[in-house]
Chains A and B, each alone.
Chain A
Amino acid sequence: MVHHRHHEKLEKVLETFKEDGEKRRYNDVSFREKTLILLEKGFKTFWSYKGWIALDIIGTVVIVALYYYVSFIVSASEVEKAGYGADFFTFALIGIAFQQYTYSSIQVFSHEIRYEQENGTLEAVLSTRTEFPTFLIGVALLSFIYATYFLICSFLVAFIFFDPFITTNIFSLLSVLVLIFLSILAHICIGITSVGIIMKIKEGDPLIWLFGWLTLLLSGIYYPLGLLPLYLIPIALLLPLTYALDGIRLCLIDLPSGSETLLSPQVFNDVLALLIFITIMLPLSLKVFRWGFDEARKEGTLHAY
């Protein structure tokens, strides 16, 4: 009799721990759903800062306008010599807009990880059944959408007020999309490597700092590479943005000879260089990331920054 009562109690206890249908459904949440949940969470936070969104829009207009007026004191001869047409403003617009876009793809992972670490929410999220890569993609997605929105905004502002020389050739525009995709992929590799390093050293963002400085100075955002001294050219040629910007400019600028496409040898070489960069860096970045993640878990410092 007593034994039977004990058995009943045990059954009840076990029942309590058993997942009900609803819980099971929750645990079976797909990758797509989790990503959308994270995106929704990010959007809610983002939307609560409407003042900052307005400021970002003003900032975009100002940056575009700034270089429009700078173009009045700049001679376009160096830009023309490099094969990018005779309009400095169009050259600078593409450089600045795409540099900001690709930079956000480097920064987004480390920024989000640091934010979650500082707020102590990273360890809580990772103790759930959400995989780290799912979490990373989910939190990064909003930043990409936002960066894309600003890229479009920059070009819209330029079109409405400053009349840049941009092509309407559909094949050139499709080639630009391929180059943007490859450029983001190349820069994501740097972002993932940086997250691996941050999780281990917990101090700053050394890789992104270095990469950011080199890119700003050497990849031809504000001036053609021909203005750099010869000894800096090899470093410039190691940076993916150098190739991305060259290809995007050749395809997007309405040149007197017509805009280029992926089929032109120079753009094809840029694509090839980006592919080589991705082939080398992608496995390497995943290795560094795995190392940093494992080290942080071993040391129990996933939450710390």
Chain B
Amino acid sequence: MRTDELLALFREKERTALHGNINQITSVLNARLKIFLSYKIWMLVELLNSVVSIAVYYFFGVMVESEKLEAAGYGTSYLSFALIGIASQTFLWTCVARIAFVLRVELQEGTFEALNATRLKIHNFLFGQSLSGFILSMWFFTSAMLSGIFVLSASLTLTPETIITSIIIIILMILAHIGIGFIAAGGVLILKRGDPIVAVFAVLTQFLSGVLFPLEVLPPELEAVAKALPFTYALRSLRFALLTERPISDPTIIHDIIFCGIFAIALIPLGIWFFGKAHNYAKTRGTTGHY
């Protein structure tokens, strides 16, 4: 064999930067999905957990005064109201918390340092993990919604238009919050502890964004805080689309979409920047293998 033939064997195929990035993201995604699928019992249990949580509100809904719900513009079915609230809240935080959680596992098992030794770019690692979190959360969300609709007879308006509107809102809802997930992951790298940032946001949104009650029942000062949270807007639009069939051109929905978009534009670069800084901090101190 000639020397240049031998060298050609070791040479990497030329790839465009984009191809390389996509390849890295899909590799991270593939690895994570394989792990998900190996935990079948866990997936089933989590799914049953969400179905039981929703079933609780089936009985609970009997006690709710539907006229108060109607006055807030969400129709008369409390089950449908709570179903959208619980399913989208679970969806959001399963997805966003996933990045910090996975990073913690990688640190605990000592595999994050090995990843650092490869040519994997750190933002591709972040996006691959986010994408896998999104797919996993989508599975829970869809299953919970379908159980609510078919098992508990929740009355949602499912037309092609409302479904497309909902998908757009959901994607924007995730994009508006994913930066928080990146910041939380950065926090895990620096502090080597669980991620309190996501937990605090999850608790606050559960209370203030109207997951279980319309915002109108909150006192004005708390309502003002609720209006600073992007989840409040995403949830309102999702309910308007699926409960009262408002189109995507509805001024309130357009307003909410813009609001979530602004959050996404502000928080994603901030999250990536913070995670990059945290990663450098851990690398310079040689602590990417510690937890």
Q: Which chain B residues lie closer than 8 Å to A209 at the CB level?
A: 45, 48
Q: Which residue of A lies closest to B217 (CB)?
A: A72
Residue contact B56 to A217, C-beta cutoff 8 Å? yes
Q: Which chain B residues lie closer than 8 Å to A55 at the CB level?
A: 196, 199-200, 203
Q: Which chain A residues lie closer than 8 Å to B194 at the CB level?
A: 49, 51-52
Q: Which chain A residues lie closer than 8 Å to B196 at the CB level?
A: 51-52, 54-55
- Name the interface residues of B165-211: CB closer than 8 Å to any CB of A: 193-194, 196, 199-200, 203-204, 206-207
Q: Could you say which of B45, B64, B207 contacts A74, with CB atoms under 8 Å apart?
A: B64
Q: Which chain A residues lie closer than 8 Å to B206 at the CB level?
A: 62, 66
CB proximity of A63 to chain B, nearest CB, Å: 8
Q: Which residue of B lies closest to A218 (CB)?
A: B59
- Give the size category of B's interface with A: 20 to 34
Q: Which chain B residues lie closer than 8 Å to A51 at the CB level?
A: 193-194, 196
Residue contact B48 to A59, C-beta cutoff 8 Å? no
Residue contact B56 to A227, C-beta cutoff 8 Å? no
Most buried by A among B59, B214, B218: B59
- Name the interface residues of B37-82: CB closer than 8 Å to any CB of A: 41-42, 45, 48-49, 52-53, 55-56, 59-60, 62-65, 68-69, 78
Most buried by A among B48, B194, B213: B213
Residue contact B52 to A75, C-beta cutoff 8 Å? no
Taking A51-B193, A72-B68, A209-B45 as contacts, is the C-beta distance between A227 and B59 under 8 angstroms?
Answer: yes
* Chain A interface, DSSP helix/strand/loop, else mixed: helix
Q: Which chain A residues lie closer than 8 Å to B193 at the CB level?
A: 49, 51
CB proximity of A89 to chain B, nearest CB, Å: 12
Taking A75-B63, A204-B45 as contacts, is the C-beta distance between A69 and B217 under 8 angstroms?
Answer: yes
Q: Which chain B residues lie closer than 8 Å to A69 at the CB level?
A: 213, 217-218
Whether A58 sits at the interface, judged by CB under 8 Å, is yes
Whether A78 sits at the interface, judged by CB under 8 Å, is yes
Residue contact A88 to B212, C-beta cutoff 8 Å? no
Q: Which chain A residues lie closer than 8 Å to B63 at the CB level?
A: 74-79, 88, 223, 227
Q: Which chain A residues lie closer than 8 Å to B49 at the CB level?
A: 213
Q: Which residue of B lies closest to A215 (CB)?
A: B52
Residue contact A203 to B203, C-beta cutoff 8 Å? no
Whether A216 sits at the interface, judged by CB under 8 Å, is yes
Q: Which chain A residues lie closer than 8 Å to B52 at the CB level?
A: 213, 216-217
Residue contact B214 to A73, C-beta cutoff 8 Å? yes
Whether A222 sits at the interface, judged by CB under 8 Å, is yes
Residue contact A227 to B200, C-beta cutoff 8 Å? no
Residue contact A70 to B212, C-beta cutoff 8 Å? yes
Whether A263 sits at the interface, judged by CB under 8 Å, is no
Residue contact B41 to A62, C-beta cutoff 8 Å? no
Q: How many angstroms between the C-alpha atoms of A203 and B42 in the bound complex?
A: 10
- Name the interface residues of A193-241: CB closer than 8 Å to any CB of B: 203-204, 209, 213, 216-217, 221-223, 227-228
Q: How many angstroms between the C-alpha atoms of A49 and B204 in the bound complex?
A: 21
Residue contact A223 to B217, C-beta cutoff 8 Å? no
Q: Which chain A residues lie closer than 8 Å to B199 at the CB level?
A: 55
Whether A65 sits at the interface, judged by CB under 8 Å, is yes
CB proximity of A46 to chain B, nearest CB, Å: 14
Q: How many angstroms between the C-alpha atoms of A55 and B204 in the bound complex?
A: 11
Residue contact A59 to B203, C-beta cutoff 8 Å? yes
Residue contact A73 to B62, C-beta cutoff 8 Å? no
Residue contact B218 to A62, C-beta cutoff 8 Å? no
CB proximity of A168 to chain B, nearest CB, Å: 28
Residue contact A223 to B60, C-beta cutoff 8 Å? yes
Q: Could you say which of A58, A76, A228 contacts B200, with CB atoms under 8 Å apart?
A: A58
Q: Which residue of A lies closest to B53 (CB)?
A: A216
Residue contact A73 to B59, C-beta cutoff 8 Å? no
- Name the interface residues of A46-94: CB closer than 8 Å to any CB of B: 49, 51-52, 54-55, 58-59, 62, 65-66, 69-70, 72-79, 88
Residue contact A75 to B218, C-beta cutoff 8 Å? no
Q: How many angstroms between the C-alpha atoms of A65 and B200 in the bound complex?
A: 15
Residue contact A228 to B48, C-beta cutoff 8 Å? no
The 8 A CB mask of B216-238 against A (1 = contact, 0 = none) is 01100000000000000000000
Residue contact A72 to B213, C-beta cutoff 8 Å? yes
Residue contact A62 to B204, C-beta cutoff 8 Å? yes
CB proximity of B274 to chain A, nearest CB, Å: 18
Q: How many angstroms between the C-alpha atoms of A52 and B195 in the bound complex?
A: 9
Q: How many angstroms between the C-alpha atoms of A54 and B60 in the bound complex?
A: 30
Residue contact A216 to B56, C-beta cutoff 8 Å? yes
Q: Which residue of A lies closest to B51 (CB)?
A: A213
Q: Which residue of A lies closest to B212 (CB)?
A: A70
Q: How many angstroms between the C-alpha atoms of A82 and B216 in the bound complex?
A: 29
Residue contact B203 to A75, C-beta cutoff 8 Å? no
* Pairs A–B under 8 Å by Cβ, sample size 6: A52-B194, A72-B68, A77-B63, A88-B63, A203-B41, A213-B49
Interface residues of B (CB under 8 A from A): 41-42, 45, 48-49, 52-53, 55-56, 59-60, 62-65, 68-69, 78, 193-194, 196, 199-200, 203-204, 206-207, 212-214, 217-218
4 further A-B pairs in the complex, CB-CB below 8 A; given A51-B194, A69-B218, A78-B62: A62-B207, A73-B217, A209-B48, A213-B49
> 10 shortest A-B CB distances, which residue pairs?
A72-B217, A73-B68, A213-B52, A62-B207, A51-B196, A74-B63, A227-B59, A75-B65, A70-B213, A69-B217
